[in-house]
Amino acid sequence: MITDRMVEELNKQLNSELYSYYLYLAMAAYFDSINLKGFANWMKVQAKEEERHALKIYEHIVERGGRVKLYQINQPPVEWKTPLEAFEAAYSHEVEVTGKINQIVDLAQREKDYATENLLQWFVSEQVEEETSFSSILHKLRLIGENIVGLLITDKELGERKPS
């Protein structure tokens, strides 16, 4: 049986994953507005991944007999000064999400909720991938600096990302 406290924390994380969806969709819209279609594609794929994360938590709550509560999703920013600034914000966001997941893992361990801990271990691994992915692009953007050719090459590369 899942505890009320765990359901509450999972519902908060569900909201966080939906906010991530909104954030990355807002970033895709920003990239579309400055005609970086590859960057926009990459963020749209990322947004869909975050939506899947939210549904994974949703299903777990339901399967364990908890009640899903959908909280208001905060409006994300809609403008960034540069692609670099957008990816810095995205990377920081992923680090924050990792911290939240780790806190819920701690709670699952304290409550001996092994089923939820098992679910969350998937998220722990996923966050390693997320942080690495954003960090890699961020590093590339820092190397590129103001180089337009480098930015366009990166745009082409990011445009090749397909949903998994």
**56 in a structural domain:** yes
**163 in a structural domain:** no
Domain of residue 143: give its range. 4-158
- Could you give phi then psi for residue 95, rounded to 5 degrees? -60, -40
Number of domains in the chain: 1
Question: What per-residue confidence (pLDDT) applies to 21?
Answer: 98
The residue-averaged pLDDT of 118-147 equals 96
Q: Which two tokens stand for residue 26?
A: 């807002």
**164 in a structural domain:** no
**57 in a structural domain:** yes
Question: What per-residue confidence (pLDDT) applies to 41?
Answer: 98
Give the C-alpha separation, 63 to 155, whole Å. 41
Residue-wise pLDDT for 49-74, tens only, equals: 999 999 999 999 999 999 999 999 99
Q: Which two tokens stand for residue 153?
A: 């090459």
The residue-averaged pLDDT of 137-149 equals 96
**Residue 112 region, left (φ>0) first, then alpha (ψ -120 to 50), else beta?**
left
**70 in a structural domain:** yes
The residue-averaged pLDDT of 22-40 equals 98
- Could you give phi then psi for residue 26, rounded to 5 degrees? -65, -40
Question: What per-residue confidence (pLDDT) applies to 57?
Answer: 98
CATH number at residue 10: 1.20.1260.10
- Could you give phi then psi for residue 69, rounded to 5 degrees? -125, 125
164 pLDDT more than 90:
no
Residue-wise pLDDT for 89-123, tens only, equals: 999 999 999 999 999 999 999 999 999 999 999 99
Question: What per-residue confidence (pLDDT) applies to 108?
Answer: 98
